[in-house]
Structures are given as C-alpha cells and as structure tokens.
C-alpha cells in the first residue's frame, strides 16, 4: 500500500515540531497540521511568555535592591500595554522561526485542524484527506475550569497574556505550577494577588520543606495566600458588592442578599472560609486536560483514558499500531523537554529502527515561583517510605539579599540513601534555582553519591557551593 506521507504529525507544539523535523531528516516524507499557531502551548501561551513575565515582574524588587547597592534610581509604574506589545512581537518572531525550521526541513505544513478517519487517514478541516504510514498525535492539552456557577467569568493562563489591562486585584485558584507562578508574577507587576488553594500546602508532590519555604516567601512578598480554601460561588459584582468590596454586600448599613449582574465591573466571590470579596479578575489554574475531544480517536480503536489522555506504551505507540502519541496529550509528564524527548524517541524507534523507550526517570524541573524552586529526584517524604535516608539541608540568607536588607532565605537540600550513599533527591529554593538544578540534575542522573558531591570543590562565593559543603546530616529518616 502506498501512502501520501511516511509520517503525518497532528499538532505543531514543541513535541510535534521536533518529531516532524527529525523524522524528515531521515529522508521520510513528513507533513504536520496545526489548527492555531505554530509553537504550541510552550511558545505561544506557556513557558516562553510566562518566563518573560517572570523577568518583567522581577524588576519591582530590583529597584529597591539597586538603591540598597548605591544606585540613585526611582521606580515608576509598570506599563502592561507596552510590555504586551513587545511580548507578542517576540512570540510572532518565535512562531516564524518554528515555521522556517519546518519548511527548511521539508516538512509540509497544513494550517488546519486534523482529525483521524482511520488508522492511516487524516481528515483536514479544509476538506482534504491524506494518508500516512504513521500518524503522530501531539495535540497537547488545555486548561480546565471547575464546573461551578459563574466560573465562565474567570480567565485561565490562555487569556492572561492577552489582557487589555492589568487588573488591580486578582484571585488565583489552584496551588500547582501555574497558579503559584502567576501569583508571583502578577504580585511583582503590582497586582493585588489573592490565591486560594484547597489543600494544606501549595505545590503538592514537591518536597514538603521546599514547598513550605516557597509559600512563606510568596506571602512575604505580598501574595495573600489562603490554604484549605476554595470558591463556593461567584458572579458578576453588583453595585452593592462594589461599595463594599472586602465584605458582605451592605445597604443602609445592613447586609443584603447578592444581586444579579448589574453590569458593574468585577467578580464577586464567596469562599469556603466565609469571606465575600470582589476581584477585578479571577484566574483558574486548576489543571490541564489532554486535547483528544472530537478527534475520532476512539472510533478507530485508539484507547483514551479516564482523564481524556491517549494511552500509549513505553514507545509512545497506541493500541492502533500505526498511530503514536507524545507530549501532554498522553498525560505522562506535562513538560516541554519531556515531549521533545518523547518525539525523538519515537523517531529513533520508528524511522531509525532502534527501539527506544522514553526515560521518565529523574527529570529535573523548575517552578518559576518567587522564590524559585528547582528539583530533581525523590522528595524526603517519598524516599523515607522506601529506604532509610540521611537529609542534608541548609537554609540561609544569601549575601545579595542580606546586603539589600531583604529577608528572603534560600534552601539547599540533599536526600541521601544510607545504604548506597546515592543522592536520591536534590531540592533548591533560591534565585536561579532552575539554572542550578539543571546542573545538579546531571550528577543525580549519573548516580552520584554524597561523597562525589563532597569531593567537588566549592565555587566561592556562590549559593550553590552549599550543595558540596554540607558535612553532617540534619537528620535521618
């Protein structure tokens, strides 16, 4: 049987684009369909614009620090429209690069939504149908908003980069990566930020000590973080709500029942802790769901899991042998570099005849909260459930913050196996923790022992030198 293409990729995000390019480099005839903008979540409405906003938000503290270091600077207000224009120019540039890279690799681009007709046939929204020997689904995910009355009034991380104006106040719902990162970003940009998280501590799944320090740091910087708290009800604010934005709506000095939407600006929110408040915006960062709806997957035999994810084996192959899936749509590890790895492993397996399972072990990652968190390997809580461990840990005020009169503390922590001496986990809360954990991640991935860390000479004066100078365990567990 002959096909139009050797490979048809659905989705132009980081994983799909990389797989398409690398497959084309083997001489395969490759096409890729994208219904929105090339670059996907990471480039267009995720990691890249988020990180640029992290940079933008950091300047508010830098002005204070600069004065402490002797600079005669005055800080002015943040100009969101000016930044947003620059941001979108940059995103346009990056999208252009993605297109150019695909074109340069001889990947044919279809700017259209694609769905699956059968194991080898893709239907495009343009009405065209094309066939391919292999199909790779890399359609990513999208934010999910809880099903509650009024939740349609809220925004998600998709819209935050497109706002016409910065809100004066915002309620962020959720305690994961996105909620906690945007709490810091918007707080740094001068927005009055309240964050509700339903659990006992934000950043569930990360090391307890590290998440505690991040939460403490966020509060110190001004984020109004409420734990064990969620929204009960929300609606467009009435005039009465606005007259008393911090509490129960009042009329003639008496509380009144909430009114229907009066056209007034703002969102009235009733919380599980009994408070009623009006916010300019509410942002939901309550998780992401794989983009599998309406693609015809189940009709042709591709298994879709309970969370809407495509079920794949270790080679990213679905139940239909010609169809593979990578990235967030498989809901394995929702991180850009992992999607890219999965794309490369797919090409290695299918186009280079070298079956390569995806290695999801010891993935370093960073949460760009303020303070930043970098992590690789097991948390103390995970490790101590498996084997006896030693915990090496230090928390201190770094010299740059101490000099500037800031109270921010950093944390350096190693979780070490008593039996093998291997460093099982490394957790850092500090400025540039993401940069540090990338490098510490190499050592941990190589199986370095605590003694290997100790043999490494410190780089002085740095924060990271503490990783190689912690002599005594703080505790065993």
Residues labelled as active-site residues: 460
C-beta of 59: minimal distance to ligand NDP in Å?
Answer: 20
Query: Rule CB under 6 A: is residue 283 a binding residue for ligand NDP?
Result: no
Segment contacting ligand NDP (CB under 6 A): 123-131, 285-293, 379-387, 454-462? 285-293
- Between residues 7 and 87, which has the closer beta carbon with respect to ligand NDP? 87
Please tell me whether residue 175 binds ligand NDP under the rule CB under 6 A.
yes
Interface pick for ligand NDP out of 177, 268, 324, 392 (rule CB under 6 A): 177
Strand pairing report for 475-476 and 389-396: antiparallel
Candidates 204, 432, 455, 475; binder of ligand NDP (CB under 6 A) is: 204
Task: Tally the C-alpha atoms within 13 A of residue 165's C-alpha that lie toward its C-beta.
Answer: 4
Q: Residue 173 belongs to what H/E stretch?
A: strand 169-173
**Shortest reach from residue 14's CB to ligand NDP, in Å:** 12
Decide if residue 285 touches ligand NDP (CB under 6 A): yes
| Residue 50 CB-half CA count within 13 A | 23
Smallest distance from the beta carbon of 21 to ligand NDP, in angstroms? 23
Judged by beta carbon, residue 265 or residue 360, the one nearer ligand NDP is 360
Binding status of residue 167 toward ligand NDP by CB under 6 A: no
367 is a site residue for ligand NDP (CB under 6 A): yes
Q: How far is CA 48 from the centre of its chain?
A: 10
Choices 72-80, 132-140, 164-172, 362-370; region in contact with ligand NDP by CB under 6 A: 362-370
DSSP at 271:
E
**Buried/exposed 455-473: b ≥16 CB within 10 Å, e otherwise:** eeeeeeeebbebbbebeeb
Does residue number 150 form part of the binding site for ligand NDP (CB under 6 A)? no
Question: Which of 184, 141, 185, 143 is CA-nearest to residue 52?
Answer: 185
- The Cα–Cα gap between 234 and 268 comes to 5
SS3 content of the chain, % helix, strand, coil (to 5): 35, 25, 40
Identified binder of ligand NDP from the candidate list 287, 308, 398, 473, rule CB under 6 A: 287
Structural tokens at position 392: 């090496």
Reference 220, options 187, 253, 246; nearest CA is: 187
Whole-number minimum distance, CB 287 to ligand NDP, in Å? 4
Site for ligand NDP in 217-256 (CB under 6 A): 230
Q: In the range 307-346, which residues lie near ligand NDP by CB under 6 A?
A: 334-335
> Three-state SS for 41?
helix
Asked if residue 206 binds ligand NDP (CB under 6 A), the reply is no
How many amino acids of this chain bind ligand NDP (CB under 6 A)? 24
Q: How many CB atoms lie within 10 A of CB 1?
A: 5
Residue 379 within binding range of ligand NDP, rule CB under 6 A: no
Q: How far is the CB of 133 from ligand NDP (least distance, A)?
A: 32
In the complex, minimum distance from the CB of residue 177 to ligand NDP, in angstroms, rounded to a whole number: 4
Distance of alpha carbon 367 from alpha carbon 203, whole angstroms:
9
Q: What is the smallest separation between the CB atom of 192 and ligand NDP, expressed in angstroms?
A: 21
- Would you give the DSSP letter of residue 26? T
Quote the CA–CA distance of 299 and 355 in Å, as a whole number: 28
Binding site for ligand NDP (CB under 6 A): 146, 173-179, 181, 197-199, 204, 230, 285-288, 334-335, 365-368
């Amino acid at each position: 049987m002959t096909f139009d293409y050797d490979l048809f990729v659905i989705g132009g995000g980081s994983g799909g684009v990389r797989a398409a390019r690398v497959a084309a480099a083997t001489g395969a005839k490759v096409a890729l369909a994208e219904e929105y903008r090339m670059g996907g979540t990471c480039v267009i409405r995720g990691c890249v614009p988020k990180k640029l906003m992290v940079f933008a938000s950091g300047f508010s503290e830098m002005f204070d620090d600069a004065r402490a270091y002797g600079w005669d600077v005055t800080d002015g207000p943040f100009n969101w429209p000016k930044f947003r224009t620059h941001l979108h120019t940059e995103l346009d540039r990056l999208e252009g690069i993605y297109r150019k890279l695909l074109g340069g690799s001889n990947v044919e681009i279809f700017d259209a939504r694609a769905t699956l007709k059968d194991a080898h046939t893709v239907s495009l929204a343009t009405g065209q149908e094309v066939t391919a020997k292999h199909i790779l689904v890399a359609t990513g995910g999208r934010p999910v908003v809880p099903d509650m009355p009024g939740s349609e009034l809220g925004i998600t991380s998709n819209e935050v980069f497109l706002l016409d104006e910065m809100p004066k106040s915002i309620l962020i719902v959720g305690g994961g990566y996105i909620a906690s990162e945007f709490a810091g970003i918007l707080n740094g940009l001068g927005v009055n930020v309240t964050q509700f998280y339903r659990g006992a501590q934000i950043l569930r799944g990360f090391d307890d000590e590290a998440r505690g320090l991040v939460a403490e740091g966020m509060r110190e910087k001004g984020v109004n973080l409420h734990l064990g708290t969620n929204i009960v009800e929300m609606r467009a604010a009435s005039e009465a709500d606005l007259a008393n934005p911090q509490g129960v709506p009042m009329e003639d000095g008496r509380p009144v029942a909430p009114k229907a939407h009066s056209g007034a600006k703002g969102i009235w929110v009733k919380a599980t802790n009994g408070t009623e408040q009006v916010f300019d915006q509410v942002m939901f960062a309550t998780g992401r769901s794989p983009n599998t709806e309406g693609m015809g997957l189940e009709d042709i035999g591709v298994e879709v899991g309970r969370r809407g994810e495509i079920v794949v084996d270790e080679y990213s192959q679905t139940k239909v042998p010609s169809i593979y899936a990578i990235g967030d749509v498989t809901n394995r590890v929702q991180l850009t570099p992992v999607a890219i790895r999965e794309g490369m492993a797919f090409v290695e397996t299918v186009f280079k005849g070298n079956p390569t399972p995806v290695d999801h072990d010891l993935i370093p990652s960073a949460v760009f909260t303020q303070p930043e968190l970098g992590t690789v390997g097991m948390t103390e809580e995970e490790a101590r459930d498996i084997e006896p461990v030693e915990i090496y840990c230090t928390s201190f005020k770094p010299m740059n913050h101490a000099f500037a009169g800031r109270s921010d503390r950093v944390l350096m922590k190693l979780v070490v196996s008593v039996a093998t001496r291997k460093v099982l986990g490394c957790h850092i809360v500090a400025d540039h923790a993401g940069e540090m954990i990338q490098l510490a991640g190499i050592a941990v991935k190589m199986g370095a022992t605590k003694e290997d860390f100790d043999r490494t000479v410190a780089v002085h004066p740095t924060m990271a030198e503490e990783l190689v100078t912690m002599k005594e365990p703080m505790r065993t567990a």
